[in-house]
């Protein structure tokens, strides 16, 4: 399929009309409420029982009210989601790559929305725990080096496993962003995929993977910022956090390297992935990255934003979207924005 960077104006125009109706009502609740966290303040211990109970009661009522607003906004956007994304990915092949902790509902709904946007599914690949673990790093590097698609090159300056894996799979799976042909042949693509699957680094079904113009990389991130803060002083929690930090770094490297080959990658996850050590947080901290990121994927806003962000990527733009403090906008604009300078 030709990979010309058309504007997709009819789809975007229709999305823009619906945007004013649905998103204008819903964004306030969806953006504010997910960022609300339980209040932990030792000063409550100094308050009398009646005052403390009254304060907690008001806080509970406020939280419940915010949740009702979120539920209502999600319901509204859910009913309008197909109209919002209509035509955004018309005839554009897309691939979903997921991590082991990615939520199944997040994946299913995002994939369904991409199809409703006119996209053509190119398959789904799962990265295993071994792919994201330091224990498999040397083996991953070795397999990548010996199965590289013809014409593809690996970074000499940065030889981290996530970087080389992204460069290899990007070359194997994506279209040439400057042309209308896949970067790799069918045989070269099969060699890379089969070798990684045989070694336990990825999972996919035979005969389901075809080249894509854009890739949606979906991760989990269920841990909240408050939980991460609590784990700082817990030895066991810190060990777990460090392990997750390594996996997050591999994933962030992988996303940027994929994008270096195909120029259209969106990294999406739940809000916890946007913390400083999370994969989204690391990508967002990199000023040179042109990977789009979407947090709060558990919400309708996040899932719609992921599809719109991929369309924006294919049209040459990028952004950081969601409710986390590191996002630069709640959702992509109805009309694709130009890619920011690296």
Read off the pLDDT of residues 79-120 as tens digits, 9 standing for 90 and up.
678 899 999 999 999 999 999 999 999 999 999 999 999 999
The set of residues, in sequence order, having a beta carbon less than 8 Å from that of 130 and lying 6+ positions away, is 136, 199, 200, 201
Closest CA to 336 of 79, 36, 85, 61: 85
- Based on its alpha-carbon atoms, the radius of gyration of the chain, rounded to whole angstroms, reads 21
Q: How far is the first Cα of the chain from the last one, in angstroms, to the nearest whole number?
A: 28
Residue 248 vs residues 23, 80, 198, 307: alpha-carbon distances, Å: 31, 33, 24, 22
d(CA 206, CA 214): 20
Q: Which two tokens stand for residue 289?
A: 């990255």
Spans of the chain, pLDDT less than 70: 1-79, 222-243, 334-342
d(CA 94, CA 114): 8
Hey, what's the torsion of the CAs at 113, 117, 120, 126, to 10 degrees? Answer: -30
The set of residues, in sequence order, having a beta carbon less than 8 Å from that of 72 and lying 6+ positions away, is 26, 29
d(CA 288, CA 256): 10
Closest CA to 99 of 157, 165, 174, 49: 165
* Global model pTM greater than 0.85: no
Q: How many CB atoms lie within 10 A of CB 25?
A: 14
Residue 238 vs residues 59, 126, 228, 250: alpha-carbon distances, Å: 30, 27, 9, 18
Give all strands of the β-sheet with 292-294 in edge-to-edge order: 202-203, 120-127, 93-98, 214-218, 265-268, 292-294, 320-321
Contact by Cβ (8 Å): 221, 280:
yes
125 Cα distance to chain centroid = 14
Q: Which two tokens stand for residue 80?
A: 């309008």
Hey, what's the torsion of the CAs at 314, 315, 318, 322, to 10 degrees? Answer: -80
Contact by Cβ (8 Å): 255, 218:
no
């Amino acid at each position: 399929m030709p990979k010309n960077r058309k504007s997709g104006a009819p789809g975007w125009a229709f999305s823009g009309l619906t945007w004013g109706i649905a998103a204008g009502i819903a964004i306030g609740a969806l953006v504010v409420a997910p960022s609300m966290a339980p209040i932990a303040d030792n000063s409550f211990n100094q308050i009398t029982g009646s005052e403390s109970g009254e304060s907690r009661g008001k806080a509970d009522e406020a939280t419940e009210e915010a949740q009702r607003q979120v539920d209502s906004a999600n319901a509204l956007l859910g009913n309008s989601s197909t109209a919002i994304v209509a035509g955004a990915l018309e005839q554009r092949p897309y691939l979903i790559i997921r991590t082991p902790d990615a939520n199944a509902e997040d994946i299913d709904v995002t994939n369904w929305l991409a199809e409703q946007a006119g996209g053509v599914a190119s398959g789904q690949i799962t990265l295993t725990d071994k792919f994201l673990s330091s224990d498999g790093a040397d083996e991953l590097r070795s397999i990548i080096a010996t199965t590289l698609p013809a014409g593809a090159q690996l970074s000499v300056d940065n030889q981290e496993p996530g970087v080389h894996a992204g460069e290899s799979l990007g070359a194997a799976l994506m279209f040439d962003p400057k042309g209308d042909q896949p970067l790799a042949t069918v045989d070269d693509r099969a060699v890379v995929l089969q070798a990684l699957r045989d070694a336990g680094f990825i999972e996919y079904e035979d005969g389901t993977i075809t080249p894509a113009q854009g890739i949606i990389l979906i991760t989990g991130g269920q841990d909240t910022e408050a939980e991460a803060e609590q784990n700082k002083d817990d030895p066991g929690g810190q060990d777990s956090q460090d392990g997750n930090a390594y996996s997050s770094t591999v994933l962030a490297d992988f996303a940027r390297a994929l994008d270096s080959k195909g120029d259209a990658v969106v990294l999406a996850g739940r809000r916890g992935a946007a913390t400083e050590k999370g994969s989204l947080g690391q990508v967002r901290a990199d000023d040179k990255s042109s990977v789009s990121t979407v947090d709060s994927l558990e919400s309708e806003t996040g899932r719609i934003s992921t599809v719109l962000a991929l369309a924006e990527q294919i049209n040459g733009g990028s952004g950081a979207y969601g409710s986390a403090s590191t996002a630069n906008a709640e959702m992509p604009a109805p009309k694709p924005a130009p890619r920011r300078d690296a």
